[in-house]
Amino acid sequence: KVIWTLLATILGYASSLPVGDDSICTAEELAKYSIIFTGKWSQTAFPKQYPLYRPPAQWSSMLGVTHSSDYSMWKKNEYASNGVRDFAEKGEAWGLMKEIEEAGEKIQSVHGIFSAPAISSGTGQTSTELEVHPRHPLVSFVVRIVPSPDWFVGIDSLNLCEGEHWLEEVSVDLYPYDAGTDSGFTFSSPNFATIPQDTVTEITCSSPSHPANSFYYPKLKNLPPIAQVTIMKLKKHYQLGLSAPFINPPAKTNEIIDTVSETPLDCEVSQWSSWGLCRGLCRKTGTKIRTRFVLLHPANNGMPCPNLDEETGCEPENCV
């Protein structure tokens, strides 16, 4: 009797312990979703150093996973895995896929992997489908910003389950992250490994606080979202084997995106050169000139460029 009382007490205590968010999901067995990634990386929203060629602004393929809280693809303020590093720097997915598969085999934390095609411009859409399970209701993914040193957008452990219900639709604005493995400041920076490796950090309009940073807009409070993801629950007849309708945005989608956020970009000029030679007749006042050049042309009603040359009076030298 004492043993049974003790056992009941232990079981009662165990049942009162806190559990992970995903372990309390009591929804129907499986749910299928459509995930739509929309690139909003336009020259209007992000005019500074916007990549126009070699290569132009674009997005890599999406690589994602549905999983439990025992697995993490990436986390802000933590070190990126080797697989995430290879994907963020070079768009190579094999290392990350291998890490996901190994996690699934060791601790049964992964339900499935999903991917969506790349987007060949900064604006546009790509989509795919994914499946979640009550024990694996979390969604994570990464999409590389191309070109960039090691920058990406993504979601870390978004829970699609709420008690006994699957969420019908979720939309999330996405902002750029630095994987912490390459020290480049600009979209086209050459490879320069960060040693020692830094943690994954969000890139903002003021961080890194350096004028060379391609996302440095010190007059803004926040960057506009560079992308957006929408995850929609599919109806049951799609889950029975019929494919979901393909979402093909109208041709004017990119024009609409371009008018959403107009980020002003002020002109930036170099320092003045040294003064040139004094030109003029002897014993009369001459003139000398100094010049500067444009480092960054203004955009979207930003502050225009000042005069690029300046003239002042002088006394001619070496007169006979």
Of residues 318 and 316, which shows the higher confidence score?
Answer: 316
* pLDDT of res. 60: 97
Task: Compute the distance between CA of residue 153 and CA of residue 74 in angstroms, rounded to an integer.
Answer: 11
CATH code for 268-314?
A: 2.20.100
The amino acid present at 258, given as its one-letter code, is: D
DSSP 207: S
Q: Is the pLDDT of residue 246 over 50?
A: no
Q: Is the pLDDT of residue 250 over 90?
A: no
Task: Compute the distance between CA of residue 270 and CA of residue 318 in angstroms, rounded to an integer.
Answer: 31
Q: Is the pLDDT of residue 195 over 90?
A: yes
Q: How confident is the model at residue 256 (pLDDT cuts 50, 70, 90)?
A: very low
Task: Compute the distance between CA of residue 270 and CA of residue 36 in angstroms, rounded to an integer.
Answer: 43
Q: How is residue 237 written in tokens?
A: 């007849």
Of residues 119 and 257, which shows the higher confidence score?
Answer: 119
* pLDDT of res. 260: 57
Collect all residues with Cβ–Cβ distance below 8 Å to 94 and sequence separation of at least 6. Answer: 86
Percent of the chain that is helix, strand, coil (3-state, to 5) = 15, 30, 50
Q: Where in the chain is the domain with CATH 2.20.100?
A: 268-314
Q: How many residues are present in the chain? A: 320
Q: CB 219: neighbour CB atoms within 10 A?
A: 12
Task: Compute the distance between CA of residue 128 and CA of residue 24 in angstroms, rounded to an integer.
Answer: 27
Digit-coded pLDDT (tens) for 113-165: 999 999 999 999 999 999 999 999 999 999 999 999 999 999 999 999 999 99
Q: CB 238: neighbour CB atoms within 10 A?
A: 16
**Continuous segment of H or E residues that includes residue 138:** strand 138-146
* pLDDT of res. 292: 87
Collect all residues with Cβ–Cβ distance below 8 Å to 198 and sequence separation of at least 6. Answer: 178, 180, 181
Beta bridge partners of 157: none
Of residues 8 and 203, which shows the higher confidence score?
Answer: 203
Q: Of 111-115, 175-179, 213-217, 301-305, give the lowest mean pLDDT range.
A: 301-305
* pLDDT of res. 7: 39
Q: How is residue 242 written in tokens?
A: 């019929």
Q: How confident is the model at residue 107 (pLDDT cuts 50, 70, 90)?
A: confident
Of residues 19 and 38, which shows the higher confidence score?
Answer: 38
Digit-coded pLDDT (tens) for 217-244: 988 999 999 999 999 999 875 444 444 4
Q: Is the pLDDT of residue 4 over 60?
A: no
Collect all residues with Cβ–Cβ distance below 8 Å to 83 and sequence separation of at least 6. Answer: 95, 96, 97, 98, 99, 100
Digit-coded pLDDT (tens) for 279-308: 888 878 889 989 888 777 777 777 888 888
Write down the residue that tokens 């006994």 correspond to.
Answer: 164
The amino acid present at 191, given as its one-letter code, is: N
Of residues 257 and 77, which shows the higher confidence score?
Answer: 77
Q: Where in the chain is the domain with CATH 2.60.40.2130?
A: 31-233
Residues 257, 258, 259: CA angle, nearest 5 degrees: 90
Kindly state which CATH superfamily the domain 31-233 is placed in. Answer: F-spondin domain (2.60.40.2130)
